[in-house]
Structure 1
Amino acid sequence: MSIFLPFIYMIIGLVIGKFLPDIRSGLSRLLMKILIPYVIAYNLITYREGMVIFAALSIVFCILLFSISYTFSRNKLTALSFSYLNVGWLGLPLAVAIFGDMASRVIIAAYIGSSIFGNIACVAAMQEHGNWRVMMNKTLTSPPVLAVVAGVVLRILPLDLAGSPELKIGYDLAKHLMSIVGMCILGIWLYSSRITTASIKTSIPLAFMRLVSGGIIVCLFVLIANILRIEVVIENAPVLFILPLLPPAANIVVLETYYRGTGHSASMIASGTLISLALLFLYASALLTL
């Protein structure tokens, strides 16, 4: 039943989108500036093996996807939508629902890596002449990076916060709220997005191209991990295979509007999200039968 809870939260979001669409901005701020940063910081305070590895793999994964897409499309916005994925809002709730709490460290680390990539790639893709000062400032002041800094500093300080029961209670609460809020926002956003037959037809081949190319990349990661005996990657390989199934990050359309004054990616993201939800549902259902 827990596997299907994120989809139930998304349906609730669709209902909220009909009656209270303006609540989306407040929920987004709660998610991006409080819940996700708290979960990231706590995981670094109670650091477990492999987080740096998974963050690095996520950055490489995104860069390779961007390169593959740009090679074929020669369109930076298309390449960005192909490679900057919805790891935080969608990937984390589903990974925890499917694989349990241990999967959270993998997806949180992947989210940190994808956020670093996304903040740099978005500025580079949206502006004709990327300003590196703007890129670095945006990256270093983004909530995920600030949460990483806070988590590392608090871990280094002799405060023994890792054993704090209060922080653990806060973490459990934030983690569950993040699943609920993230999927509700996704539902609200999908309700207000314009999805056309043309956008669906465009998104289907992109989703399957991401599935195939991303799946090959993850297979290579796991193969290299087997050769190098990196057990933490081998043990969490099924979690990593969620990444190629994820849709484009909703943050892309916000940045496109800010930098270009357009919203061409909105229908692509909405359509891609629907297709990814179907693929993720099939993946979760297949795992249930194993």
Structure 2
Amino acid sequence: MSKILTKIFIPYVIIYNILTYQDGAAMVAALSIIFCTLLFTIRYFTCRDGLEALIFSYLNIGWLGLPLAIAIFGDTASRIIIAAYIGSSIFGNIASVAAMQKQSNWQTMAGKTLTSPPVLALAFGLALRELPIDLANISALQLGYDLAKHLMSIVGMCILGIWLYSSRITTASFKASIPTTVMRLFFGSIIVSIMVWIGALLEIDIIIQNIPVLFILPLLPPAANIVVLETYYRGTGQSASMIASGTLVSLVLLSLYASALLLFM
């Protein structure tokens, strides 16, 4: 299941979003990669653990952030969240190679990174855009995209559920997730503020018009896809309990943020 999700569904979503590219989306995707990379770097230098740094920086933008943003802000929010998801997905899959592979040889790491599914999907999508065919308007491809999005959630949550079956969520693990979540919120909010400043400076409409949507990012929990990638690369599921505990804490903060927005908007 993890191979199907990693090699088929996620790459398909990335390719289709590249085919339906809209102005400013590439900048948002690039800023999303920078956002995640900075969080990864901050956490890695404090704990020296690749998996923990990945859990801190690779967030659940697609499976939780997207439906939440649509529920609060409407369908228009999906444009910026999907762009951010593409960036985070590319980061997460590439960072997983660096964080969870035993090889330390940089040539090996570079080769694995360049041949990872999201990078290949990005290159393939850009190549398809150059064809003299409007692939974005082919109904079969759009149907496949809608199907892939749903299957991503279903398959991903199934894999997470399989690991949670043998994992324990204790009071201690829940409490341990609180300072990590607060730390992510603090540094993430600073990074998003800088992203907003850059967007205003460069007059990027997609950012200027969706500032409240962007501030959802630091509130999001670790991506459930991390356990999929851990399964794929390590054959273990240690991240499952950390993801579950972090999700519970983040849901409290997201509820408060959503309530405040709905109250004052």
Contact 2:70–2:77 (8 Å) recurs in 1: yes
The one of 50, 60, 66 equivalent to 2:40 is 66
Aligned to 1:267: 241
**TM score, norm. by length of structure 2:** 0.82
Give the share of equivalent positions with the same residue, in percent. 71
Contact 1:116–1:139 (8 Å) recurs in 2: no
The one of 187, 199, 213 equivalent to 2:187 is 213
Q: Does 1:157 align with 2:145?
A: no
Q: Does 1:198 align with 2:144?
A: no
The one of 276, 283, 286 equivalent to 2:250 is 276
The one of 247, 258, 277 equivalent to 2:221 is 247
How many pairs were matched up?
264
1:244 is displaced (CA, Å) by: 0.9
Secondary structure (helix, strand or coil) at the match of 1:47 reads coil
1:217 is displaced (CA, Å) by: 0.8
Contact 2:63–2:153 (8 Å) recurs in 1: yes
Output the CA distance in 1 between the equivalents of 2:70 and 2:4.
20
Contact 2:29–2:86 (8 Å) recurs in 1: yes
Aligned to 1:132: 106
Aligned to 2:25: 51
1:141 is displaced (CA, Å) by: 3.3
Question: Relative to 1, partners in 2 of residues 1:257 and 1:167: Cα closer, same or farther, differing over 3 Å?
Answer: closer
The one of 62, 67, 78 equivalent to 1:104 is 78
1:200 is displaced (CA, Å) by: 0.9
Residue identity in the other structure for 2:212: P
1:229 is displaced (CA, Å) by: 1.9
1:197 is displaced (CA, Å) by: 1.2
> CA RMSD of the aligned region, Å?
3.1
Moved more, 245-254 or 178-187: 178-187
Contact 1:248–1:273 (8 Å) recurs in 2: yes
1:60 is displaced (CA, Å) by: 1.0
Q: Does 1:88 align with 2:65?
A: no
Contact 1:124–1:131 (8 Å) recurs in 2: no
Output the CA distance in 1 between the equivalents of 2:231 and 2:150.
31
Q: Any gaps of 5 or more consecutive residues in structure 1?
A: 1-24
For residues 141-186 of structure 1, give each alpha carbon's deviation from its aligned partner in whole angstroms, at most 9, with x where no partner exists.
3333333223222221001223323333443444455456556665
1:192 is displaced (CA, Å) by: 5.0
For residues 213-249 of structure 1, give each alpha carbon's deviation from its aligned partner in whole angstroms, at most 9, with x where no partner exists.
1011101110222223222211122222222112223
**TM score, norm. by length of structure 1:** 0.76
Contact 2:54–2:96 (8 Å) recurs in 1: yes
Moved more, 88-97 or 157-166: 88-97
Output the CA distance in 2 between the equivalents of 1:32 and 1:256.
11
Contact 2:156–2:228 (8 Å) recurs in 1: no
Aligned to 1:148: 122
The one of 73, 92, 100 equivalent to 1:118 is 92
For residues 265-286 of structure 1, give each alpha carbon's deviation from its aligned partner in whole angstroms, at most 9, with x where no partner exists.
3322221122122322333333
Residue identity in the other structure for 1:98: I
Aligned to 2:198: 224
Moved more, 147-156 or 184-193: 184-193
Output the CA distance in 2 between the equivalents of 1:119 and 1:165.
28
Output the CA distance in 2 between the equivalents of 1:235 and 1:254.
34
1:46 is displaced (CA, Å) by: 1.9
